[in-house]
Amino acid sequence: MIITVGGLAGTGTTTTAELLSEKLDIPYISAGFVFRQMASERGMSVLEFSEFAEGNDDIDKEIDKRQAELAKSAENLIVEGRLSAYFVEADLKLWLVTPFDVRSSRIAERESKSVEVAKEEIITRENSEALRYMDIHNIDIKNMDIYDLIINTGTFDPEQVSEIILTTLKVI
């Protein structure tokens, strides 16, 4: 079984992927994992590779390609990443949503910064990413048509989110 988990920053994609991995006893990978792997292959730190990747569309394309290849060669895998559903053939494609204020608070706490700073950074990052996704892949990140299940993680705690997903898996 292949599952993709996507969502904007602060929606709980990593928490959800980790919890599903544990409950289903199947591995998960993330776009961040692939990014770190690519940095290591080039003998760069994550920061160095991040700077190298800025303005280099080939890095984004390579991350997407590697996730798709890993999923193709796996019998069971959870793939976590904002665009994973577009590049991975999956049995279930999930998208997580959360109100902006909740996401901002989560990120502020996680990164030890003020909520106001987190809000400004989220807006800047998401506007930049939306343009990049459109330019590189012709993907409108706001279009939810590709997803099988959309869950508001601001309404449910991680355990409830995993139960919703596990219940869904029983009927597909």
Q: For the chain, where are the E strands, in sequence order?
A: 2-7, 28-30, 77-80, 92-97, 149-152
Residue ranges of the annotated binding site are: 7-15
Task: State how far the Cα of 19 lies from the Cα of 159, in Å rounded to an integer.
Answer: 8
Beta bridge partners of 137: none
Give yes or no for a contact between 94 and 19, defined as CB atoms under 8 angstroms apart. no
In this structure, what token pair is assigned to residue 60?
């984004």
- The rounded distance, in Å, linking the Cα atoms of 127 and 105 is 19
Place of tokens 């409950």: 23
- 7 and 82 in contact (C-beta within 8 Å)? yes
Torsion of CA 150, 152, 158, 164, to 10 degrees: -50
| Annotated binding residues for ATP | 7-15
